Chains A and B, each alone.
Chain A
Amino acid sequence: MYSRFPHPMRFAFALLAGTLMFGATAYAQQQPTAEDVAALTRRINELEARLKAVEGQQNAAKPASADTFNANQPQSTAQTPSRSQPMDMGMSTHAISPDGLSFGQMKIRGFGDVGWHDTTGGLRQDTFALGQFDLFITSRLSDTTSILAETVVEADQTNAVGIDLERLLLQYQPNEYLNLSLGRYHTAIGYYNTAYHHSAWMQTALGRPFMFAFEDGGGILPVHNVGVSATGKIPSGALGLHYIAELGNGRASRTPLDEAVQNVVDENLHKSVNFGFLVKPPAWSGFEGGFDVYHDRLTPLGAAPIGENIYAGHIVYVSSVWELLNEAAFIAHTPEDTHRTFYTPIGYTQLSRRFGSYRPYFRYQYVNANVVEPVFSDVQMQHGPSFGLRYSATEYTALKVEYGRNMIRNQPATNTVGLQASFTF
């Protein structure tokens, strides 16, 4: 038989137990025991250790999933890429850590080009040709320090393939007034040399202007140097003034067979210096004007030392639509025995405009070296136009076609038709 109330004994026991539990809980809430504190402390320590372990695992996983310069998948999607998501290959995927960016992680980007050209007029050439295979590596070591390296694999005129370390720089940039680089750099003479480096893909035209041809390709400017380079802003308000100061080994001149860039041994005790100023008004985005003076002392074997001064200036405007490049330099060589100075003017102008994926361009270049010039006796006077079309087939691939005519003093003019596929990856 059921009653309205529980069994009296059961009810009394429950009432007693409830009273005791309530009292104990209330007491415990007011006065935590030493055991409680110890237990909580242990729990906190366990949770902290577990959190550290999880963070460690996340950091260890980051380089493998998100550390390529060019694969711009956000970290969470890089591991599980979705076919429906566009590949955002442009921006780097820095591993994101609690402090924003992870340091010390290497990023690699590649550039390459292959092509074909047919040259008539002088020695006929009709050939496919490998261009440069350029591996560009950066690593941010701290908020102010980074590493930059550019290594190029290319074939020379004998078809032999070689590897060149074109740039290797330890950079220190504590603020916008100083960007100090130590190592092998591209000399800040003019604009083109420090704008496009070894990437054919970044350039509009098929190749570099003759003015900035590489030393091992017959170029006459010291486009590479080993030493220290400093650039930065000069407080100048709307003018946007910047400075350039470089100190390096300069170029080799002992014999024509020497490697032009003095990577580990300087043939003399004299160092090359380069000072310049740039104007980049913030209100005129894309405009840059600059002037610099380079000085070195060449010491060819069996001849008097030669003083070398290069005065270079440029005015450029580069926007997403227009590209207008104008550069000129005077190279002055003064043998110390005759004190006669030979001036070699050199320059080019280039104009292009983008129409969607197409960018037609035109370039005219000029150089005039005296036939008895002590360093450039084989250069003579050369000038001529070239025009072509760059077609951006994809975001990472460009196809170019170009016609160029080069007129050389006392020699038949050459005509060249070239095709190139350049790419970045």
Chain B
Amino acid sequence: MKTTLVLVIAFAASVSTATAQNVTPAMKSSNDVAVVVNANNPVSDLSIGDLDQIIRGDRRFWNGKSNITIYMRERGAREREIALAKTKLNDSEFKRLWGGLVFRGMANAEPVTVPSNGLASQCVRDSNGALAFVVAHDLPSDVKVLKIDGKLPGEPGYPLR
């Protein structure tokens, strides 16, 4: 009885997460860097300007309400380099910028550095306000991939590649 119940719940959970994601087979074969958020995040589309503001810390809330927490790969990782290249910041400037925001009391935490795409995706799954940069072929099926300037990873003209 209980085992049946457990199986039913597990199946229901897998169905609910599967419906929240938008990872396509085309993305899985792409080397583009995807911008991923929690499946419950209502945001689906960002402009490259919005993304620039988020990375620079000029915009720190989703729709003005919940905190955006950035999960970045470690220094030297391609995902990080591509994300920062869009803001014309190098690692040192990025560090100094966010250190200054925290030092000035404008942000209550700096972006979190994660050592793998798997951990970045896990953090996005577990945190409603999370935003991470993950190479598209490493995307799990239960996160939400944002369109950047109306385009998904793998599509022509996608800006993070």
A and B: interacting chains: yes
Residues of A within 8 A of B (CB): 32, 37, 40-41, 44, 72-77, 85-86, 88-94, 96, 98-101, 109, 136, 138, 140, 143-144, 146, 148, 169, 171, 173-177, 179, 181, 185, 194-195, 197, 199, 202, 233, 280, 282-283, 285, 320, 395, 424
How far apart are A316's CB and chain B's nearest CB, in angstroms? 13
How far apart are A235's CB and chain B's nearest CB, in angstroms? 8
CA distance A199 to B92 in the complex (A): 17
Q: Which residues on the A side are within 8 Å of B130 (C-beta)?
A: 100
Contact of B75 among A32, A41, A88, A101 (CB under 8 A): A88
How far apart are A91's CB and chain B's nearest CB, in angstroms? 5
The tally of CB-CB contacts under 8 A between chains A and B is: 133
Within 8 A of A (CB), among B137-156: none
CA distance A146 to B75 in the complex (A): 27
Chain A CB within 8 A of B1 CB:
yes
Q: Are A109 and B113 in contact (CB under 8 A)?
A: no
Q: Which residue of A lies closest to B80 (CB)?
A: A88
Q: Are B67 and A40 in contact (CB under 8 A)?
A: no
Q: Which residues on the B side are within 8 Å of A199 (C-beta)?
A: 103
Chain A CB within 8 A of B159 CB:
no
CA distance A58 to B3 in the complex (A): 29
Chain A CB within 8 A of B69 CB:
yes
Q: Are B64 and A91 in contact (CB under 8 A)?
A: no
How far apart are A167's CB and chain B's nearest CB, in angstroms? 8
A sample of 10 cross-chain residue pairs with beta-carbon separation below 8 angstroms, ordered by A number, consists of A74-B115, A76-B115, A92-B112, A94-B112, A100-B126, A138-B109, A140-B109, A146-B108, A171-B108, A181-B105
Q: Are B111 and A91 in contact (CB under 8 A)?
A: yes
Residues of B within 8 A of A (CB): 1-3, 6, 49, 52-53, 56, 58-61, 64-67, 69, 72, 74-76, 88-96, 98-100, 102-106, 108-116, 119, 123, 126-127, 129-130
Main DSSP-derived SS at the B contact region: mixed
Q: Which residue of A lies closest to B72 (CB)?
A: A91
Contact of A143 among B67, B110, B115 (CB under 8 A): B67
Q: Are B75 and A86 in contact (CB under 8 A)?
A: yes
Q: Are B64 and A90 in contact (CB under 8 A)?
A: no
Q: Which residues on the A side are within 8 Å of B113 (C-beta)?
A: 72-74, 88, 91, 93
Q: Which residue of A lies closest to B6 (CB)?
A: A44
Q: Are B108 and A32 in contact (CB under 8 A)?
A: no
Q: Are B53 and A282 in contact (CB under 8 A)?
A: yes
CA distance A41 to B1 in the complex (A): 10
CA distance A283 to B109 in the complex (A): 24
Q: Which residues on the A side are within 8 Å of B75 (C-beta)?
A: 72, 86, 88
CA distance A90 to B114 in the complex (A): 13
Q: Which residue of A lies closest to B106 (CB)?
A: A179
CA distance A241 to B109 in the complex (A): 23
Q: Are B3 and A94 in contact (CB under 8 A)?
A: no
CA distance A60 to B112 in the complex (A): 19
- Please judge, given known A-B contacts A90-B92, A99-B126, A233-B64, whether A194 and B104 are in contact too, CB under 8 Å: yes
Q: Which residues on the A side are within 8 Å of B64 (C-beta)?
A: 175-177, 233
CA distance A183 to B146 in the complex (A): 40
7 closest A-B pairs by beta carbon, nearest first, are A90-B95, A100-B127, A74-B115, A146-B108, A88-B75, A92-B110, A176-B61
Q: Are A92 and B109 in contact (CB under 8 A)?
A: yes
Contact of A86 among B56, B76, B95, B104 (CB under 8 A): B76
- Please judge, given known A-B contacts A96-B123, A195-B104, whether A37 and B91 are in contact too, CB under 8 Å: no
Q: Are B96 and A74 in contact (CB under 8 A)?
A: no
CA distance A416 to B12 in the complex (A): 74
How far apart are A93's CB and chain B's nearest CB, in angstroms? 7
Contact of B105 among A77, A171, A285 (CB under 8 A): A171
How far apart are B72's CB and chain A's nearest CB, in angstroms? 7
Q: Which residue of B lies closest to A145 (CB)?
A: B108
Q: Which residues on the A side are within 8 Å of B112 (C-beta)?
A: 91-94, 96, 100-101
Q: Which residue of B lies closest to A40 (CB)?
A: B3
Q: Which residues on the A side are within 8 Å of B94 (C-beta)?
A: 90
Q: Are B76 and A99 in contact (CB under 8 A)?
A: no
How far apart are A151's CB and chain B's nearest CB, in angstroms? 14
CA distance A94 to B67 in the complex (A): 15
Contact of B3 among A32, A93, A146, A283 (CB under 8 A): A32
